[in-house]
Amino acid sequence: MSVKTLDVIRKRLEERPDELRRARENGLKVVGWVGYNVPEEIIHALGFIPVRIAVGGDDRLVEIGARYASSKTCVFIREIVGAFAENKDPYIQQTDILAFDATCLQNYRAAEVIEYFFKKDVVVLAVPRNFHLDEAKEYFAHEANEFTRLLEERAGAPLDSARLAESVALYNDIRKTLKSIYTFQASKNNVISWEEVYDLIQAGELLDKREYLSLLTQTLDELKERQHYPVIASDDGDSRIFLSGSLIPRGDRKLISIIKSVGGRIVGDDLWSGILPHLDLDIKEISPAGVALGYLNRTPHAALPYLDLESDRRLKKLQECLSQFKAQGVIYHTLRYCDPFTFKAKETKNVLAKSGIPLLEIHTEYAGSDYEAMKTRVEAFVEMIKIKSEIAEEQSVLVDA
Amino acid sequence: MGKQLFRYSEANKEKFLESDNITFNDGSTVSPEEIWHYLTEEAPVKYPSAFEVNLYQGNRGSRDETLPTSLKTRYLGLTFSARMEKAKDNGKSIAFIQGGQAVDPYTAADTIALRPGLVNQWNNGLEYGNDINKENLRRKKSKEKAFHDMSFEACQTGGYEHVQAGDLRIDVIAPYTVLRCSDISYGVEAHRHGPKKNVKLLNVDYPLRYQADKPWAIEYFAQNLRRLVNTLDEVTGRKTSEDDLLKAIKLHNTGRRLGTELAELWWSADVPPTNSDDRASMVSLGNLEVHGDVQASLSVLKEAKKFIAERVKNGVKGHAVADNPKRLFILGSCVGINGSRSEDAGAIVVGRDDQWSHCSSLVEEEGDPYYNLAKATLEYPYEQSIEKRAQWTIEQIKKSRADGVIFIHNWGCNTQAAISRPIVDIIKRETGIPTYIHERDLHGLRDEQEQNRVNAFVEML
Amino acid sequence: MSLSGNYFAGVDVGSLAAKSVILKDGDIFATGLVPSGVNSVESGLNALNIALESAGLKQEELTYIVGTGYGRVSAPYANKAVTEITCHAKGANYLHPTVRTIIDMGGQDCKAIRIDQDGAVVDFAMNDKCAAGTGRFLEVMAGVFKVELKDLGAIALSATDTVPMSSTCTVFAESETISLVARGEKPENILNGIHHSIANRIAGLFSRVGIESDVFFSGGVAKNSGMKNAIEQALKVTIVKPEIDPQLIGALGAAVIARNFAKKEGLWA
Ligand code: SF4
Ligand code: SF4
């Protein structure tokens, strides 16, 4: 299959930490952001280099993190805290300022803990829980201004509207291109896999944004050349799995590799470490509040409660994606102590059951000890989906017997 | 069932009968005679579990029988379920709320506000004749299902199972989404998939990060409070005015002041004038919400202050308190340690941050009551940044002359767990007082291991 | 000696026992059951050999072998590996086509499986990775009381009270049990409490997948009458009586699937 530009991207990622180091020597500042509603364009337009701090999959760091943030914090946050404690991650080493948001309370606590123990310069964007109400939007606009003010102080210059417009345009192009690329992975005779696109999305959290856009454009050109027009449909013997639930950051590939190893094919996701944050981001006004509200108005993160099931946009989006990518089953990934997603697992399952889509919840942490147990579940789920599609054939065997 | 039950001794009856009546919200009263009769005749039959002598469950064989308040808070606790049922029969509306918040707006809107512990208490009281084992089994069974309906990692289910099964007639679920609790807003959301569609839902959105210093955050929370009152009004069908809210604030300020004075009086004594549980049940009256009846709480609170003043003056030591006990201050989640067993180990609990943080936050009475209430609420010490919360806690620790500090975080209580170490660090650094962080195991068991650790900590002190 | 007919085998290597079933055409022909050792290949082969021996067959005479259980990944003797979830479904369906719900309690996990009329899985849930509600948990408890695992259920059934167990974590429950004994609670009442607490856990598991009659109880723990009783109470259902050792259901299902595969691959007509 191999798409050539992907190799270039991998190489560029290897070079990136050094590049950041040099940029900082030349007076630029790196802002590491952690969370789900951090308006990156504002950081970018202020002349900072934004990188997303999202690491996972390392049980050792989780252990270290637990010393600071207790063993009852979600594994993801524990690992982040552990990574700060250890200070060996090349991106963490290169951050000057940290930007957190309070979409998830655990993410917010991480900001406090990291600020306290590791004496980091932390800026926090508060996020309203009643995000859909007018008064909440007004409050959030104030918070976005405050967030910008705190960053301006650190940039030593005010935010320039023209530069913000440029950043927004750049990010819009990135999002648009990503979306186009994403459809290729779900197609019949695909030349790029979901796993590759997933890595590609996460590469964008670290690379220089302009360069990233041009790499994405090249990737898309390559895909178009090889596949012209992607048709989203099953290949023979596929069991088309959709991934949902808690984020799966770089470094954590346990579940993804298990799905592949038992013959499942991932064809889509609505993960906050995947395509979801890039969808439906509509910035209506070039201002800090305008950008931030664009973020908040996307499909809401599971940490933001919504009290009416019927009109819940998160579930609507999930259903829309399932039909768009012709998924046959959902694997719903919940990280240990990730309340936003664990609380919704059963409900999501029930909602999808009505349209005949099975859901398997996989509850896990970063230790390798549950690998076999996870594998059994995923394998049985994939078997179940396959048997479902082969049921007619199966039956004839049984009838004969 | 052959289990040994505690009985109040007739020897103290006379003194008890001299104490005051309890006056309730609806203007009715209950006399000490009636209370005595209830505690000695009716309740042991209805609720044997509450009288069962079982050291392991914190029920010792004796009580502070010469402290009338102790009997009265007991009475209010035991009649709680029946009183809630009666309130519902009389058309009163009941809201489910969060533990760390004041209830002024609910009082203003003529609604009883119950936090998770009280919802469970209501449900427990619906079944008569259970011993401790039976009661625990019953609770465990319904919880297990609720955990599956919500999340295994929920620290508590907030009575979800009872509300959704229709066992408890709760009209509205409208807590403050304070940071103290990682689960509350998801718990509210979970009700959207339950079968009971007529329960109203609202999250009263509590802003974060230096919230009390941000005028727009106070304004936003004030709008949330207005929305809350409107929602409660939709249920009751009445119209709550600003004046109603101001009245409620004044009433609750009275409670908060009394509660604070009582706590300070208690702290001022050379020897602890009551044991841990009696102290906690009296001080918590200050929020006036604990028994689902504001006036009843207030009337017992007023009297309590009088009794404690007397004991302090006469140097009376509380029942079952050791000589020179080690004084413990408890922090963290909304759960405590086993008072009587800790006393047996030579300790006493002299304070907690939970329930105290909002009791000590008075509301300004001049000006827009919504804004004032919002401002005071956003100033809850428990909800501040690590540094600020720690400083406030240190003050309380000093005032209470604590010898040791235990931070407990409950299973699933992520937002308290996460900052346990920093808070305790600061306390240790600035006071030099020994500290201990305790992680409570799944679903709040009070087990041997926990007591062992607490005892070891006390021995160390 | 060679017998006429087609033979299909299922081998289920679990954490506590290895099981095998041989089908002759459509009928159960022989079975084997041995405790699992550390080497799962060996355990599987041992179980298979016992069945082969009692059937008077050689391994080469088997048309198709399906491996299942956690040992399925290392089963060089098997033509294919299938998860125990799919196998339990097929096995229960083979015995009782009216079964729609299976409770499987094995050594290290506990499963709630819903199946359709063809024995295809429509939904399933498993306990989280801790040992609560599993054979291992009961084994630890048997150790605490120094009784045989197989006698636990009968002891629990003689209880006069139910002492609630707060902890479902094996390690904590063990020490909790010890302290309950120390404070004078009767062993049968504690054991009764343990069985009820596990049954409640299982009831919880079913709240995720739902329950529909008939209900089948498989796995090693299914032989425990106290557990069966507690589950019937907690789920308010009647469990159907198994014709064969309920511990063999996974292997039976694997054998049924072996036959299906053989047919599909044209090895048997
Ligand atoms: S959403 Fe889940 S994984 Fe992310 S910070 Fe919150 S609890 Fe952790
Ligand atoms: S223990 Fe913590 S998470 Fe649980 S109800 Fe109390 S405050 Fe909330």
For residue A77, pLDDT over 70 is answered with: yes
Tell me, yes or no, whether A138 and A46 share the same domain.
Answer: yes
Task: Read off the pLDDT of residues B111-138 as tens digits, 9 standing for 90 and up.
Answer: 999 998 899 999 999 999 998 888 888 8
Long-range contacts of B30-38 (CB under 8 A, 24+ apart): B30/B75, B32/B68, B35/B71, B35/B72, B35/B75, B36/B8, B36/B71, B38/B75, B38/B78, B38/B79
Best CA proximity match to A278, nearest among A192, A173, A184:
A173
pLDDT tier, C86 (very low <50, low <70, confident <90, very high otherwise): very high
Mean pLDDT, residues A78-91 = 96
Contact assessment for residue B207 and residue B217, using Cβ atoms and an 8 Å cutoff: yes
Looking at residue C16, what is its pLDDT?
84
Can you give the pLDDT at residue B442?
Answer: 62
DSSP one-letter code for B54: B
Query: In this structure, which long-range contacts are made by residues A345-350, counting pairs with CB atoms below 8 Å and at least 24 apart in sequence?
Result: A345/A245, A345/B151, A346/B148, A346/B149, A346/B150, A346/B193, A346/C207, A346/C208, A347/A309, A347/B190, A347/B192, A347/B193, A348/A244, A348/A315, A348/A318, A349/C208, A350/B193
Amino acid found at B100: G
ipTM: 0.94
- How near does any CA of chain A get to the CA of C158, in Å? 35
In this prediction, residue A373 has a pLDDT band, given cuts at 50, 70 and 90, of: confident
pLDDT at A245 over 80: yes
CA-CA distances (angstroms) from residue B90 to B93, B162, B236, B438? 9, 20, 12, 44
DSSP state of C22: E
The whole-number pLDDT of residue B172 equals 96
Instruction: Tell me which residue of C183, C198, C137, C172 sits closest to B132, measured CA to CA.
Output: C183
User: Which residue carries 């039959």 as its tokens?
Assistant: B45
User: Where does B21-67 have alpha helices with state H?
Assistant: 32-37, 43-46, 48-51
Residue B82 has pLDDT above 50, yes or no: yes
What span, in angstroms and rounded, lies between the C-alpha atoms of B230 and A133? 15
With beta carbons less than 8 A apart as the criterion, state whether A78 and A71 touch: yes
Alpha carbon distance A392, B163 (integer Å): 44
Task: Please tell me which of the candidates B141, B149, B445 has its beta carbon nearest to residue C167.
Answer: B445
Q: Which residues of C touch A379 (CB under 8 A)?
A: 83
* Average pLDDT of span B322-332: 94
Across the range A261-281, mean pLDDT stands at: 96
Segment holding B81, helix H or strand E: helix B80-89
B152 CB neighbours in chain A (<8 A) are 342, 363
Residue A384 has pLDDT above 70, yes or no: yes
Of A34, A80, A106, A273, best ligand 1 pocket probe by most atoms within 8 Å of the beta carbon: A106
pLDDT number for residue C174: 78
* CA-closest candidate to residue B172, choices B227, B253, B221, B123: B227
The DSSP letter of residue A33 is: E
Residue B444 has pLDDT above 50, yes or no: no
Distance from C-alpha of A377 to C-alpha of C205, rounded to nearest angstrom = 15
CA A133 to chain CA mean position, Å: 25
| A50 or C161, higher pLDDT | A50
In the prediction, which pLDDT does A391 show? 62
Q: Residue A127's domain spans which residues?
A: 17-158
CATH number for A120: 3.40.50.11890
Higher pLDDT, C124 or B111: B111
Q: Please report the pLDDT score of residue B3 as a whole number.
A: 79
Contact C152, C141 (CB under 8 A): yes
The reply to whether residue C260 touches residue A346, judged by beta carbons under 8 angstroms, is: no
pLDDT bin (cut points 50, 70, 90) of residue A401 is: very low
The residue ranges of every structural domain in chain B are 10-460
Residues B163, B166, B169, B172, Cα dihedral to 10°: 40
pLDDT digits (tens, 9 = 90+) for A330-363: 999 999 999 999 999 999 999 999 999 999 999 9
Residue A106: HSE in the Cβ half-sphere, 13 Å Cα cutoff: 29
Kindly tell me the burial class for residue A269, based on how many C-beta atoms sit within 10 Å of its own C-beta (0-12, 13-18, 19 or more): buried
Span B60-80, mean pLDDT? 92
pLDDT of residue C164: 80
Is it true that C1-96+245-269 and C98-239 share their CATH fold?
yes
Average pLDDT, chain A: 94
Span B43-58, average pLDDT? 86
Strands (E), C36-147: 62-68, 80-81, 101-105, 110-115, 121-126
pLDDT in tens, C213-229: 899 999 888 888 888 98
Residue C128 has pLDDT above 70, yes or no: no
Q: Angle formed by the axes of helices A288-296 and A161-185, to 10°? A: 20
Q: Count CB pairs under 8 A between chains B and C.
A: 57
Say if CB C62 and CB C78 are below 8 A apart.
Answer: no
C-alpha to C-alpha distance for A19 and A24, rounded to whole angstroms: 9
* pLDDT (0 to 100) of residue A293: 98
- What residues contact residue A49 under an 8 Å CB cut-off, 6+ apart? A20, A23, A28, A29, A30, A31, A208
Cβ contact B419–A113 (<8 Å) = yes
Residue A305 lies in a domain: yes
pLDDT of residue C194: 86
pLDDT at position B371: 98
pLDDT tier at C169, thresholds 50, 70, 90? low
Q: Using one digit for the tens of pLDDT, what is the confidence trace for B310-321?
A: 999 999 999 999
Average pLDDT, integer, range A47-53: 98
Q: What is the pLDDT of residue A1?
A: 54
In this structure, of A202-216, B130-144, B312-326, B421-435, the range with the lowest mean pLDDT score is B130-144
Best probe of the C interface among A261, A374, A376, A385, by most C CBs < 10 A, is A376
Distance C260 CA to ligand 2 centre (A): 52
The whole-angstrom separation of Cα B47 and Cα B124 is: 10
Per the CB < 8 Å rule, is C83 touching A358?
A: no
CB contact under 8 A, B414 and A308: no
Q: Is the pLDDT of residue C70 over 90?
A: no
3-state helix, strand and coil shares in percent for chain A, rounded to the nearest 5: 55, 10, 35
Would you state the pLDDT for residue B447?
Answer: 66
A217, C12, C217 from C17: Cα distances, Å: 57, 8, 17
Closest ligand relative to B419 C-alpha: 2
Shortest CA distance to B307 belongs to which of B3, B20, B62?
B20
Is it true that the peptide bond before C214 is cis, omega within 30 degrees of 0? yes
Domain boundary among A158, A182, A216: A158
Once rounded to an integer, what is the mean pLDDT over residues C136-157? 85
C118 touches chain A (CB under 8 A): yes
- 3-state class (DSSP) for residue A101: strand
- The pLDDT confidence band at residue A392, using thresholds 50, 70 and 90, is very low
Domain C1-96+245-269 architecture? 2-Layer Sandwich (3.30)
Joined together, the tokens standing for residue A187 give: 């197609």
Tokens of C201: 């856990």
Find the radius of gyration of the CA atoms of chain C.
19
pLDDT of residue C131: 57
* Ligand 1 site, residue A338, Cβ cutoff 6 A: yes
Residue B330 CA: distances (Å) to CA of A213, B276, B388, B454: 54, 11, 17, 11
CA distance C237 to C248: 22
Task: Inform me whether the pLDDT recorded for A400 exceeds 70.
Answer: no
**CA-CA distances (angstroms) from residue A306 to A105, A131, B199, C128, C177?**
16, 9, 15, 28, 43
Kindly state if the Cβ of B155 falls inside 6 Å of ligand 2.
yes
Mean pLDDT of A80-85: 97
* Chain C residues touching residue B441 (CB < 8 angstroms): 166-167, 169, 172
Residue A219 in domain: no
Query: Is C22 exposed, middle or buried, given 0-12, 13-18 or 19+ CB atoms closer than 10 A?
Result: buried
| CA of A331 vs chain B CAs: smallest distance (Å) | 17
pLDDT of residue C98: 95
Range with the poorest average pLDDT among A216-220, A331-335, B125-129, C142-146: C142-146
- What ranges do the domains of chain C cover? 1-96+245-269, 98-239
- pLDDT value of residue C171: 65
For residue A154, what are the contacts with CB-CB under 8 A and spacing of at least 6? A29, A97, A121, A123
Q: What does the pLDDT look like over B248-280, one tens digit per residue? A: 999 999 999 999 999 999 999 999 999 999 999
CATH of the domain at A366: 3.40.50.11900
Q: Is the pLDDT of residue A328 over 80?
A: yes
Contact criterion met (CB < 8 Å) for A108 and B205: no
Q: Indicate if the alpha-carbon torsion angle B438, B444, B449, B452 is positive or negative.
A: positive
Q: Is the pLDDT of residue C202 over 60?
A: yes
Per the CB < 8 Å rule, is B144 touching C172? no
Distances C39 to A5, A157, C65 between C-alpha atoms, Å:
46, 67, 19
Here the tokens at position A174 are 């990135």
Residue contacts between A and B (CB atoms, under 8 Å): 152
Q: Select from B105, B116, B112 the least CA-distant residue to B87.
A: B112
Amino acid C132: pLDDT: 62
Do residue A239 and residue A344 come from a single domain?
yes
pLDDT given for residue B412 in this prediction: 80
Residue ending a domain, choose from A130, A158, A186: A158
* CA-to-CA dists, residue A54 to A39, A197, A251, B240, C194, angstroms: 16, 17, 9, 48, 42
Looking at the predicted structure, is the pLDDT value of residue B443 above 60?
A: no
Span of A298-307, B16-25, C184-193 with lowest mean pLDDT: C184-193
> CA of A109 to nearest chain B CA: how many angstroms apart?
6
Q: Is the pLDDT of residue A396 over 50?
A: no
For ligand 1, say whether the CB of A69 is within 6 Å of any of its atoms.
no
Q: How far is CA B342 from the centre of its chain?
A: 19
Question: How many domains does chain A fold into?
Answer: 2
Residue of B nearest to C194 (CA): B137
- Against chain B, the chains showing at least 3 CB pairs within 8 Å are A, C
Q: Which of residues 362-401 of A touch C (CB under 8 A)?
A: 363, 369-370, 372-373, 376-377, 379-380, 383-384, 387-388, 391, 393-395, 397-398, 400-401
State the closest ligand 2 atom to the C-alpha of B409, by its place in the atom list counted from 1: 1
Under 8 Å between Cβ of A106 and A247: no
Q: From the options 3.40.50.11540, 3.30.420.40, 3.40.50.720, 3.40.50.300, give the CATH code of C98-239.
A: 3.30.420.40
Determine which of A234-243, A319-328, B323-332, C77-86 has the lowest per-residue pLDDT on average. Answer: A234-243
CA distance A308 to B410: 29
Q: Is the pLDDT of residue A148 over 90?
A: yes
Q: Is C133 left (phi over 0), alpha (psi -120 to 50) or beta?
A: left
